[in-house]
Amino acid sequence: MLRIREVSKHYEKNGATVKALDGVSLSVKPGEFVVVRGPSGSGKTTLLLLCGALLPPGSGEVRFDGADVYSLSPNQRAALRAANVGFVFQQFNLIPYLSVLDNVLAPSLAKPDPRAAQRAAGLLERFNLSERASHFPAELSTGERQRVGLARALLNRPRLLLADEPTGNLDDENAQVVLSSLAGFAADGGAVLMVTHSRQADTYGHGTIHLMRGKIVTETAEEGH
């Protein structure tokens, strides 16, 4: 589904070159849950944004379903994201002035769908948020916020979930809920690429990529799922 080849992203800063990504190749298939690890500044977020059609690489190519993502027009890329990609963030990034329900429905702005409301209700139910539908993000606990974030990411039935330290701000219990949801998504045939520092993730991931200064240093695959 997602395949990136020899992707590099360099930044020039005060004459010095920062190699955020340096010749990275990887692929994520449907049903796969790939974990990305690495120290701060090693290029994890850069990799995720690049995979999410939000950040064009300096060189190399990013293909989604075989199509070169960055040869698409900006609007086509937006449509690609709306239809296929869900994002989950460490800071949740909920829209403060929208209720829980409206936050979950936000992706339908990009991809209108008459069944969106029904699906949103189902997702709230599933994440145990039905009671909170009319609440605002500020009124929620961090765990609840991330569940709203997950529900939002899932509304348009994406095929790829990109999660940047989704459990970074959560306690173990809530982290567990999020991780098992992501695993469930993969089990249902979705692809997950998750950046994390959490050890808990090891029980869910099917493979782990270690990044160091923009390069993949080790790649482990856990077979048998």
- Does 164 interact with other proteins (rule: CB under 8 A)? yes
Strand partners, 208: 35, 220
Nearest to 91 by CA among 6, 42, 173, 164: 164
- Does 18 interact with other proteins (rule: CB under 8 A)? no
For residue 201, the minimal CB distance to Mg ion (Å) is: 15
Whichever of 14 and 75 has its CB closer to ligand ATP, that residue is 14
Among positions 41-70, residues that touch other proteins (CB under 8 A) are 45-46, 49, 52, 54-55
For residue 86, the minimal CB distance to Mg ion (Å) is: 18
Residues near Mg ion (CB under 5 A) are 45
Report what 81 binds from ligand ATP, Mg ion, other proteins, none; CB cut-off 5-8 Å by kind: other proteins
Region of 162 please: left (phi>0), alpha (psi -120 to 50) or beta: beta
* Contacts by residues 122-130 (CB-CB < 8 Å, ≥ 24 positions apart): 123/151, 123/154, 123/155, 124/100, 124/151, 126/151, 127/151, 127/181, 129/100
Burial code (b: 16+ CB inside 10 Å, e: under 16) for 161-198 equals bbbbbbbebbeeebbbbbbebbbebbeeebbbbbbbeb
Sheet architecture: strand order including 59-64: 16-28, 2-13, 59-64, 67-68
| Per-residue interface string for the shown chain with other proteins, residues 108-147, x marking contact by CB under 8 A | xxxxx---x-------------------------------
What ranges make up the beta strands (E) of 94-189? Answer: 160-164
Give the containing element (helix H, strand E) for 11: strand 2-13
Report what 119 binds from ligand ATP, other proteins, Mg ion, none; CB cut-off 5-8 Å by kind: none
Report what 98 binds from ligand ATP, other proteins, Mg ion, none; CB cut-off 5-8 Å by kind: other proteins
- Does 98 interact with other proteins (rule: CB under 8 A)? yes
For residue 155, the minimal CB distance to other proteins (Å) is: 9
Whichever of 77 and 206 has its CB closer to other proteins, that residue is 77
Whichever of 31 and 41 has its CB closer to ligand ATP, that residue is 41
Residues at the contact surface with ligand ATP, assessed by CB under 6 A: 11, 13, 18, 20, 38, 40-46
